């Protein structure tokens, strides 16, 4: 095996990423083993307080996304008009 200053760094980085992937895989396995069967049986996964928090976050996220779509839609319309003006001027 060829050793060098960068090869050692790459190897440690690989081990770090591998460890992170294993942690995520373990977390997904725990969710599959615990939460999915509980949900199928009709049990709530979250407490009532947790369900309230999730619904509040969904409401806030929805209003923020809607507002952002309105603002970006206006910007896109202005950009389209500008492009149409420029391309129309180039065609003449």
Q: What is the pLDDT of residues 16-40, one digit of tens each?
A: 999 999 999 999 999 888 888 877 8
No. of H helices and E strands in the chain? Answer: 2, 0
The H-or-E segment that residue 49 falls in is helix 48-91
pLDDT at 2 over 80: no
pTM for the whole structure:
0.41
The 10s digit of each residue's pLDDT in 32-62 is: 888 888 778 887 777 888 888 888 888 888 8
CA–CA dist 84, 8 (Å, integer): 54
């Amino acid at each position: 095996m060829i050793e060098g200053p960068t090869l050692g760094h790459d190897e440690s980085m690989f081990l770090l990423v591998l460890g992170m992937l294993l942690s995520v895989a373990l977390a997904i396995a725990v969710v599959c083993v615990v939460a999915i069967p509980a949900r199928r049986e009709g049990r709530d996964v979250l407490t009532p307080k947790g369900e309230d928090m999730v619904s509040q976050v969904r409401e806030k996220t929805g209003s923020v996304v809607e507002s952002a779509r309105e603002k970006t839609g206006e910007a896109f319309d202005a950009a389209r008009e500008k492009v149409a003006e420029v391309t129309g001027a180039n065609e003449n």
